[in-house]
Amino acid sequence: MATDIRLQEEILRIMAGSPGSGFSPSTVRELLGHVDEKRFRRIFRALVNSGRLQPAPQHRYILPPPAAPAAATPPKGLLQGRLQVNSQGFGFVRPESAAPGQSDIFVPPGQLGGGISGDLVEVQVYDPDNPRGPCGEVVQVLERRFSSVVGCLQRYGQGWAIRPLRRELPELLTLQNDYDLPKQSQEGDWIKATLQTNPDGGHYAVLDKRLAASGSVGADLDAIVEEFNLPPRYTPEFEARAAQQKPAGVSREDRTAELTLTIDPMDARDFDDALSYSDGPGLDECTIAVHIADVACYVQPDNFLDLEARRRCFTSYLPGRTLPMLPAALANDRCSLRAGVPRLTHSVFLRLSKRDGQLLSFRRAHCTINVKRRLCYEEVSRFLAGEDLAFGPEISTAIKNLHRMAQLLRQRRQGLELFLPMDMPEIRVVCSEQPSRIVGLQTTEHNPSHQLVEEFMLAANQCMAQELQQHRLPGLFRNHAAPEEDSLQEFAAQAGQILGKRVRPFRNRRQLVDFLHKLPDDQASRDLLQMAFLRHLPRADYGSECNGHYGLGKEHYSHFTSPIRRYADLLIHQQLLARDRRKKRHSQEQMQSFAQLCSAQEENCDQASYAAADRLKLRYLQQQQKEDPLLRLRGLIIRVSKNGLGVFLPEYSLMGFVNALQLPRHTWYYLNATQTWKNHHNGETLAAMSEMYFSPQNIDPIRGELALTPFFLPAKSRRR
């Protein structure tokens, strides 16, 4: 199982760094930190029984000797797979066409063949049928995951080296042609280089270009854009051409006289959805119109706009910088549902029961609308909380009706679909664009105003997935696989450690949902548990087959409601528009290819967004520490081991680490039995979910790492 394999890898990593005499099982568990004891014993015993760990004197264990060379043991075959390298020098290769339950191939230190994490490699497997597990040697790197590297300059002896931005890459790479650096180059400057490999498997970098000077928000964002290969802003020439594009003709309903509203973030520029409410057609019924920008009428398959949108796949949102999927002429103007101007929409009309929110029927139509009022989440939230914002009777009534129906839809989903309640607040870095600087951090809560919009978007997405299947149209579906059983068991054990009480394994979905509904009231603890749970869920992706969405509890689901910023949604619009116009549609094979493209591009955009947010939060911390050298940070200890403490900073949504060397040996000692640190002078303990204050010791926005020092005076450590 996947999580068992991860624990095996972690144990083998620790054993690879053991002295010649080896480690005892208790020492290995200390170094692992919090892990369920029964599970640890089972995995450790399995490693011993398979021969991947060998007994040594004094109740210790060691790694077996390296595999025999090829001359002594004839090769049985070559396999291809993705390599994951551990910091201790060994690795694992997951075969590309691995059968269920098939073991990864262990690659001992010195046999990586110059491979690094993420590389597609060819591995020579020796004795694959051995019950100890397959072992192999990388004989060829077939495809580099990272052919180039972006990082910061650092002095290295008499020359220069580069500290890569990505943590998957070695921490330091020597720069071979540092004589090509521009004269104004300084330590900390961002550069781009090509990754190269020595004959002995070592790595170095060859300078390509200097990107930007160090220390500015703009330079950090330039580096993120370069590293993750995000597209640049559109050129004025392309914008001008896009502005001339005429929409395709299709029969439309005139809905300009109806009261239509948009509700978006305050800083939104592209408005791709709007809502309207009307009573009827039947008694105790109402109709919610979900109006979506009709982007496909402008961006038709394989025209110049479509090809560029396909290359980008998503609008990339970085703090203080937006890189749109569509040119501004469309995204912010022609397609954007701005107030006071007629706009083309592709609309879904939901006929709902006023009593319980049941979806009675739906229909789809192309329309023309005129948004009467642009609203933002903040003001709608204040209005729903009872504040008088003078919207006027018509708009106030519409908001109340939309809110009432959204809550009915949500309650019905809770009862029938048992969706996973994951409403974590988002802590955003707020930056100004001109000049590019950090203004502060902003916490956005998921409140009823967000739910108002979300419920109708979910319903429209589900309806479109059903229509695609009903008419057997090749489609693109949003799929989310269920987590593996052992992953949920691991989460239950981890949740028990965080809460300080036993959490029973989840036998079914209802037990899991009930647990998530009853998380502690303390926001920091809730955030921590939800973050831990998210790490045990597989990633949602796109597919040409509809496989259901575990998180939402839906059998049919697609993305339809954001065609301005997601290519997957645009593809659905194109398919439905082609059917309405009796034109050629994308084939099933094309949709599968698009699904793979969109999934890969989405993951890349997410990684870029996380990398930018974490590094700018660390820049903000540097800025705060400069203004206040005695800066103190409230944190929760989430992991305790002999090596130190893992810490969560709830006000920043950042992770940090306290090295055990920061705990004076004459005062603090580690208790393996309870996995705590104890002060033998005053009895104070440091345990999981202890809250205390910390000082930043080393803030590293290049690698995205934060080292902390405990500050004991202001707050006594206490068990939450």
Do residues 43 and 11 lie in contact, with contact meaning Cβ atoms separated by under 8 Å? yes
Q: What pLDDT, in 10s, does the model give residues 391-420? A: 999 999 999 999 999 999 999 999 999 999
Helix (H, G, I), strand (E, B) or coil at 412: helix
What pLDDT was estimated at residue 713?
Answer: 47
Helix (H) / strand (E) containing 695 = strand 690-700
Q: Is 410 left (phi over 0), alpha (psi -120 to 50) or beta?
A: alpha
Of 46-50, 444-448, 704-708, which range is least confident?
Answer: 46-50
pLDDT-derived band at 317 (thresholds 50, 70, 90) equals very high
| 45-59, 294-308, 525-539, 599-613, range with the lowest pLDDT | 45-59
Place 76 in a pLDDT band, splitting at 50, 70 and 90. Answer: low
- Please give the residue that has the higher pLDDT: either 71 or 696: 696
pLDDT of residue 602: 96
Owner of token pair 């705060």: 624
Q: Token pair of 16, please?
A: 């690879």
Q: Are 150 and 212 in contact, with CB atoms under 8 Å apart?
A: no
- Name which residue leads in pLDDT, 714 or 269: 269
Over residues 302-323, the mean pLDDT reads: 94
Residue 91 pLDDT > 90, yes or no? Answer: no
Provide the angle, in degrees to the nearest 10, between the axes of the packed helices 37-49 and 2-16: 70
pLDDT in tens, 238-275: 999 999 999 999 999 999 999 999 999 988 889 999 99
Two structure tokens written together for 498: 């965080």
Mean per-residue pLDDT over the chain, rounded: 88
| CA–CA separation, 254 and 215 (whole Å) | 54
Return the pLDDT at 66: 62
Higher pLDDT, 235 or 177: 235
- Most confidently modeled range among 74-88, 113-127, 385-399: 385-399
Residues 307, 659: Cα–Cα separation, whole Å? 50
3-state DSSP assignment of residue 628: coil
Q: Among all chains, which residue has been given the structure tokens 């057609």?
A: 281
CB environment 254-278: b (16+ within 10 A), e (fewer): ebeeebbbbbbeeeeebbbbbbbbe
Residue 103 reports pLDDT greater than 90? no
Checking if the pLDDT of 32 tops 80, the result is: no
For residue 17, pLDDT over 70 is answered with: no
- Does residue 75 have a pLDDT over 50? no
Q: What is the mean pLDDT of residues 556-583?
A: 97
DSSP 329: I
User: Nearest CA to 585 among 597, 573, 603, 602?
Assistant: 573
Instruction: Count the residues in the chain.
Output: 720
Query: Angle 304-312/588-627 helices, nearest 10 degrees?
Result: 60
Residue range 655-679, pLDDT digits in tens: 999 999 888 878 898 988 888 899 8
- Report the C-alpha dihedral over residues 220, 221, 222, 224, rounded to 10 degrees: 90
Q: 3-class secondary structure for 66-116?
A: CCCCCCCCCCCEEEEEEEEECCCCCEEEEECCCCCCCCCEEECCCCCCCCC
Give the residue with greater pLDDT, 696 vs 216: 696
Task: Find the distance separating the first CA and the last CA of the chain, reported in whole Å.
Answer: 33
CA distance 288 to 401: 10
pLDDT at position 20: 66
pLDDT of residue 68: 45
**Under 8 Å between Cβ of 119 and 165:** no
5-19, 64-78, 181-195, range with greatest mean pLDDT: 181-195
CA distances from 270 to 232, 564, 617, 675 (A): 18, 7, 26, 51
Give the pLDDT score at 127.
66
Q: How confident is the model at residue 717 (pLDDT cuts 50, 70, 90)?
A: very low
pLDDT > 70: percent of the chain: 93
